Structure 1
Amino acid sequence: MRRTRALRTALGLAVALALAACSGGQPPVAPTARAAAEGRLVLQLRTVQDLKPVSAELTTRDMAEARSRIGGLLVSLSVKEGDLVRRGQPIALVRDDRIGLLTGAYDAQAAAASAEAARAEADLGRIRTLFDQGVYAQARLDQAEAQAKAARAQLSAARAQRAASAELGAQGAILAPADGRVLLADTPVGSVVSAGQSLARITAGPPVIRISLPEAQARALKPGDIVRLAPEDLDGQTSEGIITEVYPSVGGGQTTADVSAPRLPVDAVGRRVRAWVSLGQRQALVLPRSHVATRYGIDYVALVRADGSAGEIPVQTAPGPSAAEVEILSGLKAGDVVAPAGATR
């Protein structure tokens, strides 16, 4: 019995020595401790762009107004909101019956002036013949020539008045001032409209994001600057644009600028868009999103203590310089060591 126990003890010591020799004399490292040490970061201040949220709207470079040039009755409106139109396309008709009556009166005046001019020309021909035969004196011929000239002038004036009246009536046809989409056409047919009244609003030019910000901060804007955009507000088409124009006028203490971006949607002109512009640089704590865990609307970060253990603490975050990063606003400081999310579990 004693010999059997001694044999078992010797066998156990031999196995232990063999395992120690295979491991190089070092004790095995626990897998959980090794995983906790991986991915740790030391927070350092980093220079980032100072982004400011601004008011932005999806619109077009210009807006065209299809206005009535004469007053009268709207007899037809052939477009509605959302229709695409081409420049010069007839979209509405305004008619004033008084213009038609006035044109008729000018027609009659032109006909009377034409008859008077024909009579004066005939009289001048007869008098010139009799003058050549010595019947009439030079004074009579000069008088006939003056009467014929006056009749021709009256005919020209009557025809010009008639043409002007006809042109005024033709101005009742309202044409699209530009290629684009109809945004507003809310005047019902049969309405009385006045000269200069807008009957349709039409987009003109390429789509842009128009931003506004206080004039004191707008001094930092210049063409070519990058503007961050919320892609979810633009059907996921784009996430940034470039300032193409800063308008020199200031209204209500606000400066306006246009931002161009590829694949901007044009089906919802006037849509509000979230945008951020850079007003300079500042120092910030930036952390990868993989190191932040969110539960019940609260962000947590695994902070590594001096003894090497990690514990979660709540932090306040904001969008970082890129989609894969967040900015730490409070809860951590430069020099803190953080572990990836879930390292404490």
Structure 2
Amino acid sequence: MSARPYLLSALGAALLLSACDQPKIVTEPPAKTAPAADRLTVRAQVVADMKPVPATLTTRDMAEARARISGTLVALSVKEGDVVRQGQRIGQVRDDRLTLQTGALDAQAAAAAAESTRAQADLTRTRYLFSQGIYAQARLDQIEAQAKAATANLAAARAQREASAELGTQGAILAPASGRVLLANVPVGSVVMPGQSIARITAGPLVVRIELPESQAQALKVGDIVDLAAEDLRGVAARGTLTQIYPSITGGQVTADVAAPNLPGDLIGQRVRAAVKIGERQAIIIPRRYVVTRFGVDYARLVGANGVISEAPIQARASATADTVEVLSGLRPGDILTPAEAGR
């Protein structure tokens, strides 16, 4: 009876050893095959080589409302952001010396007018006496010369008075163009000089102004398409046309203007992301539906010679259209793809 437990233990150990010697059977999932429809053969194609460049939303020109005379700024009726029309009075410069000068010239003109009246009276009297034989021809010629001189002095005095009065009216500061006031930072009461800028006003149509190195600007030509970031322009414009290339080079940079429809004009000077075409290159462009993204990694579903699907990680970026992507690495021409949802 005591040997039975040892016999049972030996029998269990033998069964375990026999079970370990048996090979394990692993069941592999069946390979996925791609349908014949919607297969895509990868090919390289020529695309535009786009270069990101700095750009600014601005207007074609900037107008400066300047003071035409020296004096004190006594009024400024606009502020940044106001919309003005061409010729609108936006400020006033006053010089008290001009008022005094005009008054003095008024007195001179009145004196010249009195002298001219007296000379004309002398001329009338002398002509009468000459006709009566009392005065000689020399006396008449002398009086006529004095009358002409008095008339000329009167005209000169009046012209000087009008010039002084006109100079006083030039104290009005007028908007040189219709647009929006960008800068008006001269406080009322300041002493200004002739030619000093009082306000800066937009002029001309809205444009996106770009800058790029002179070595790359040689490929630019008027009419080229420029891609603009729609989110920087409130979604109203995503593509523009190159309308002007400025011939001057500043700091190794070439400046050009891009026109686009419905550009917002309330934030002049806003930075805009832009990309211009500087050449052409070979690229792999595939529809976005052939790419699947998992955990931030993009995959393409490759179809082998036997139709079996395998996934390959790729590096992709946005293309010119929303429904395509450009593959930077992971694929090569000749590869066959199937849509991301095929073979599932």
- When normalised by structure 1's length, the TM-score is 0.84
CA distance in 1, matches of 2:241, 2:32: 48
Q: Kindly indicate whether the alpha-carbon contact (under 8 Å) linking 1:68 and 1:198 is maintained by their aligned counterparts in 2.
A: yes
- Structure 1 residues 295 and 125: CA distance shift in structure 2, 3 A: farther
- Equivalent in the alignment of 2:332: 333
- Structure 1 residues 32 and 141: CA distance shift in structure 2, 3 A: farther
C-alpha distance after superposition, 1:171-212 (max 9, x if no partner):
111111111111111111111111111111111111111122
C-alpha distance after superposition, 1:45-80 (max 9, x if no partner):
111111111221111122111111111111111111
- Equivalent in the alignment of 2:311: 311
Unmatched 5+ stretches in structure 2: 1-28
Map 1:90-109; keep pairs closer than 5 Å.
90-109=89-108
- Equivalent in the alignment of 2:223: 224
Tell me how many residue pairs correspond in the alignment. 315
C-alpha distance after superposition, 1:226-252 (max 9, x if no partner):
111111111111211111222222222
- Equivalent in the alignment of 1:17: none
CA distance in 2, matches of 1:182, 1:323: 38
Greater shift, 212-221 or 151-160, is seen at 212-221
Q: Percent identity?
A: 63
CA distance in 2, matches of 1:252, 1:35: 57
Greater shift, 246-255 or 198-207, is seen at 246-255
Q: Secondary structure of 1:332's match?
A: coil
Shift of 1:114: 0.9
Shift of 1:96: 0.8
Q: Does 1:266 align with 2:265?
A: yes
Q: Kindly indicate whether the alpha-carbon contact (under 8 Å) linking 1:310 and 1:344 is maintained by their aligned counterparts in 2.
A: no
Q: Kindly indicate whether the alpha-carbon contact (under 8 Å) linking 1:66 and 1:174 is maintained by their aligned counterparts in 2.
A: yes
Q: Kindly indicate whether the alpha-carbon contact (under 8 Å) linking 1:57 and 1:273 is maintained by their aligned counterparts in 2.
A: yes
Amino acid at match of 2:136: A
Amino acid at match of 1:282: R
CA distance in 2, matches of 1:34, 1:300: 17
CA distance in 2, matches of 1:202, 1:296: 51
Map 1:5-84; keep pairs closer than 5 Å.
33=32, 39-84=38-83
C-alpha distance after superposition, 1:102-143 (max 9, x if no partner):
111111111111111111111222222222222222111111
CA distance in 2, matches of 1:245, 1:232: 24
Shift of 1:81: 1.4
CA distance in 2, matches of 1:296, 1:125: 111
Q: Secondary structure of 2:104's match?
A: helix
Q: Secondary structure of 1:168's match?
A: helix
Q: Kindly indicate whether the alpha-carbon contact (under 8 Å) linking 1:214 and 1:255 is maintained by their aligned counterparts in 2.
A: yes
- When normalised by structure 2's length, the TM-score is 0.84
CA distance in 2, matches of 1:208, 1:342: 44
Map 1:127-206; keep pairs closer than 5 Å.
127-206=126-205
Q: Kindly indicate whether the alpha-carbon contact (under 8 Å) linking 1:305 and 1:311 is maintained by their aligned counterparts in 2.
A: no
Q: Kindly indicate whether the alpha-carbon contact (under 8 Å) linking 2:84 and 2:180 is maintained by their aligned counterparts in 1.
A: yes
